[in-house]
Structure 1
Amino acid sequence: METEPVPAPHRAPDRVTAALGVLTERPVSLYAAAVLRIGYGLLYLVFLLREFPHRDEIWGPGSPWTPELARQLFDQTGWVSILTLSDNRAYFEACYALALAASALFALGWRTRAVSVLFAVVVASFHGRAIFMTDGGDNLILLMSLYLVLTACGRRWSLDARRARLRAGGADAEARLPVDRVAVDRVAGGLGQHLRASRLTLTAVLHNCGMFVIAAQVCFLYGSAGLYKVQGASWGNGTALHYVLNLDLFRPWPGLSLMVDEHDVLIALACYLTVLLQVAFPFVLFGRLKYPVLTMLLGMHLGIAVLMGLPLFSGAMIIADAVFLPDRFYLALGRLWRRTARGAGSGGTAEVPRTPRARTPRAQVPAQSEPVG
């Protein structure tokens, strides 16, 4: 006698339970979170180093937008910045050094839980201090720094992960808890187990919700930008990029902009493709079509960085797009990097081919069909 299939209403609760299990049991997209951490930490570090000679005119006491004017604006907007707590130049230099250190430590993943909060405070403070000199890149970095506080972005490719592997003796490091949770296990009795389980669940929920918010933010950004462009006549007739390429404010390489502007057909196609990619982006995330779309968006942002002189904005967008790549993609990149580094390390010396008789029981040669590492 054949078993009748279970009706859909009975399967729906199971799917909901499975979805809740994924949300509460383990953090997802840990490698993507690590890429976001490294990317935004390095990007902001490079930004601060680039503006180091002009730091006083932008954020310091010598800025035309004085700390007193900034405090008056904060009284109206409710914003807070550590840079306006004092007008002393030594205090400003100390804050700038703190910002450089926080960005570097955040990218390295050192004590990520605490440093992520410090990095968010630094970004918010510098953003609010010179609010009239920011652009889309600054706004996105500010949002991402706040969202990353919720995530477990130090679990992979970080000093925290390395310290956890060393303490674990290298055994099953990927499945072990991070170092900052070991203290909970020292609590005796059942209370310690409950606290540990609650902390695991809370961390997983916050991380997954944070990654979801980051993905939703990028989708809203692309979708709203595309829908806004659809309403403009210049994007509809394919001339928008022509006007952009002739703006002196966004033309760091005038000769290059003029050379690109000579190709009218390509300019029109680029306009239509830009609108299509941005509007369609939220609808292609759950299929293989997202890979060519992300590749084309990468080319678009590189073009914006070069032709319009907006590297901070382009870098922030490229890093944000990394949230949509699965962990298996980053694992494959890691294996490719290790094989490339191993090949480069042995390229300068001639190797003698080994025969099966040369192997000994002590040789640790992995099977060719299994990934190394």
Structure 2
Amino acid sequence: MQQAEQTSAPATTPKRPGHGAERAGAQAPRHTPARISTLLTLLLEEPISLYAAAVLRIGYGFLYFAFLLREFPHRDEIWGPGSPWTPALAKELFDQTGWASILTLSDSRAYFEVCYAAAIVISALFMLGWRTRAVSVLFAVVVTSFHARAIFMTDGGDNLILLMALYLVVTACGRRWSLDARRARLRASAGKTVLLPLDQASGELRRHLRDARLTVITVLHNCGMLVIAAQVCFLYGSAGLYKVQGASWGNGTALHYALNLDVFQPWPALSAMADEHDVLIAITCYLTVLLQVAFPFVLFGRLKYPVLTTLLGMHVGIAVFLGLPLFSGAMIVADAVFLPDRFYRYLGQLSRRVVPWADVRGAQTPTAEAAPQSVHTD
């Protein structure tokens, strides 16, 4: 009996503490390659946030189009040969900063007028999404040139538009809600894809080249959208941390001083009325700092929706009370990058219900997305 108990003892011996944890730890690294594979699949095979990219294209194209039209009566004093900041002074600054502008290539007034008209047309075409891949480059050149020509006439909004115009060059921002997307859908529905008779080797080579091109476009688009999101997070975070260091934001009086500056009083009576509510101004100061500092940390949960809604109200208030519509519009459009595609698809469905004749289905057709010619729609 004793020998039998001794023989059966190993079967009933309790496991060492932490034995299960060791097995779990041994299996944990196996999940890491799977996560890396999922990340690479997301980065390489499927473009992300196509609707958000389209909203950025439409938003910034419209903002710059409206900006150029608004400043049309003052174009010569700001960017033209009659500006106090002459082309010669601008070129001298370019030698120090490395900037460049097509507006300084000639001092002719006729040349400037042609450039200004071309800038308005390019902004409109970029907004509409016509030949977006090429027009996005032209739009970036226009924004850079006008920004560099009058670099001291900025309010922060055109700085952000400049950055976004450069980032959007590498994105597929013309695949949704654009003339390019509509053209691709019409071609796909009409069956205009023609397959030429090729030998097997040539057809295989073309297929590999097409797949490689699609992969490059997808990677550039995804990286561009991630950089845009990171830029907005950095903007909000740095602005909030900068405000924390200021005494006027700490005691809730920063907006009081801003409302009493002549340069930020488009409607003095409205500014004076808002300045009468001391408690509300202090709460707005504290809420502004809190939202900006917390913004990068709430993007991965549902809390981002009330935060984005509050920021929308804040930017509308800046546009109305401080007279900075371009800056507010640029920030509102930038915030759109954090909204999911299902939200924009719902907006598209809602617009078709409200306006039945509006055809915004352009690139939602699966055939248009899968067709080889859809590569050329952005």
| Equivalent runs, 1:1-373 vs 2, <5 Å | 7-169=27-189, 188-342=202-356
Q: Does structure 2 retain, via aligned residues, the 8 Å contact 1:185–1:192?
A: no
* Counterpart code for 1:59: W
Q: What is the aligned partner in structure 2 of residue 364 from structure 1?
A: none
- C-alpha distance after superposition, 1:38-57 (max 9, x if no partner): 00000000000000011000
Q: State the shift of 1:341 in Å.
A: 2.2
Q: State the shift of 1:26 in Å.
A: 1.4
In structure 2, runs of 5+ residues without a counterpart are 1-22, 359-378
In structure 1, runs of 5+ residues without a counterpart are 172-178, 345-373
Q: State the shift of 1:343 in Å.
A: 11
Output the TM-score relative to the length of structure 1: 0.86
- C-alpha distance after superposition, 1:305-329 (max 9, x if no partner): 0111000000000000000000000
Q: Distance in 1 between matches of 2:190 and 2:252?
A: 57
- C-alpha distance after superposition, 1:72-120 (max 9, x if no partner): 1111111110000000011000100110011000000000000000000
Q: What is the aligned partner in structure 1 of residue 7 from structure 2?
A: none
Change (3 A) 1:62 1:284: same
Change (3 A) 1:13 1:71: same
* Counterpart code for 1:85: L
Q: Does structure 2 retain, via aligned residues, the 8 Å contact 1:184–1:195?
A: no
Q: State the shift of 1:338 in Å.
A: 1.3
- C-alpha distance after superposition, 1:266-324 (max 9, x if no partner): 00000000000000000000111101000000000000001110000000000000000
Q: Distance in 1 between matches of 2:128 and 2:196?
A: 26
Q: Distance in 2 between matches of 1:91 and 1:210?
A: 34
Q: Distance in 2 between matches of 1:161 and 1:223?
A: 35
SS at match of 1:131: coil
The percentage of counterpart residues that share the same residue type is 77
Q: State the shift of 1:189 in Å.
A: 2.0
* Counterpart code for 2:234: F
- C-alpha distance after superposition, 1:316-356 (max 9, x if no partner): 00000000000000001111111222499xxxxxxxxxxxx
Greater alpha carbon shift after TM alignment, 49-58 vs 184-193 = 184-193
Residues paired across the two proteins, number:
332
Q: Distance in 1 between matches of 2:31 and 2:197?
A: 41
Q: State the shift of 1:7 in Å.
A: 2.1
Change (3 A) 1:7 1:234: same
Change (3 A) 1:186 1:35: farther
Change (3 A) 1:120 1:185: farther
Output the TM-score relative to the length of structure 2: 0.85
SS at match of 1:133: coil
SS at match of 2:355: helix
Change (3 A) 1:194 1:327: same
Q: State the shift of 1:12 in Å.
A: 1.0
SS at match of 1:169: helix
* Counterpart code for 1:50: R
Q: Distance in 2 between matches of 1:239 and 1:110?
A: 47
Q: Distance in 2 between matches of 1:43 and 1:100?
A: 11
Change (3 A) 1:241 1:231: same
Q: Does structure 2 retain, via aligned residues, the 8 Å contact 1:80–1:128?
A: yes
Q: Distance in 1 between matches of 2:203 and 2:82?
A: 59
* Counterpart code for 1:296: T
- C-alpha distance after superposition, 1:128-160 (max 9, x if no partner): 000110121010000000000010000000000
Query: Runs of at least 4 residues of structure 1 off by over 4 A?
Result: 182-187
Cα RMSD of the aligned pairs, angstroms, is 2.0
Larger radius of gyration: 2
> Using CA pairs below 8 Å that are at least 6 residues apart, which structure has the higher relative contact order?
2
Q: Distance in 2 between matches of 1:314 and 1:185?
A: 51
